[in-house]
Structure 1
Amino acid sequence: MDPHDYNITVRQVHEEDGPCFEARVRELPDVAEYADTFQEAYELAIDTIATTAEALAEQGKRMPAPAMVNDEYSGRITVRVPRNLHRELAEAAEKENVSLNQLIAGALGVYVGVRGVLTPAAAFLPQYTAFSDESIAVAGNAQRRPGTPQLRVVRDNNMQMEADWGNTG
């Protein structure tokens, strides 16, 4: 059993003591680990998966199997964006010395907290702070329409990227 085969989601949350990172395991819904950094939260989740597997084995119980990736998702999507956004994204990618695909995949990965997506874009991600739709008000003056998810990535407080995926409600 390899704990890395499990589906771990890490996202930034805002607790009473301030922002931190929360790691959750899809196959173990009661697991929630909190840490000061993304990496620490991820590693705590890996450790918890291994510890849970050992405890269940000692009790003669089976560990839930990792959820299989759905084959209907090829990893390829087509997105239409305004020309000026395309230009800004391309310029940001060039400035960060990553491909446009890496920049967009990394930004989307930050938004949904998918660990595997973050690795290819590691060259630029440490310079970014991401805010989920729950914390946009904390990030600044962006106003979110009810039922509309938004992505806001701020770099060094002088460049920002925002995307609006339309009304989901």
Structure 2
Amino acid sequence: MPTLLVYRCQVPGVGHFASTDPGCEGQTTELPALGYTLAYTRLIRHTTTGYPYDHASATARIGANYRPEGSTGALSMTQLPGTTALLSCQDGIDTFTSTDSACEGKTVVRRLGFIWTSAPQGVPGAPGAIGFELFRCRASWGDLFDSGDPGCEGQTLDRSLGFVATGL
């Protein structure tokens, strides 16, 4: 069963937060670690609150001008057999996801986690979890976004990204 250490972190003069990053995302790490967590994270689709409109999928902090639309499923936070990295990429104002390690020639922002290349069978530590195909779609104005709908919510299908886990 994949697990990650959880650290107590401090932002001096502000407060504390928990993180799986040993470096506390650039803040102060307080030891000892708090414990362990299952190594899965939710992939949340967000949209900007105003023009120019952009969708972005994220597993952590995202810009203040984005609001969450909902979870598209779970990614593994560690590489498991049958998974590949899912990256957050930037092309001008468009934030999009890709399984290409070079973000298709655009800017790599960060690794979001690991997505399954085929529907997962028996997700470690998550009995009953099933795979759900995740698609990358293109809106009429050019924005790339993720969706579980093979019809892309009435927009244009760009490609299948792989499978996220549901039922965790």
Same fold, judged at TM 0.5 (above): no
TM-score (norm. length: structure 2): 0.24
**Larger gyration radius, structure 1 or structure 2:** 1
Give TM-score scaled by structure 1 length. 0.24
If asked which structure has higher relative contact order (CA below 8 Å, sep 6+), I would say 2
Give the number of the structure whose residues are more often helix, by fraction: 1
Name the structure where strand makes up a greater proportion of residues: 2
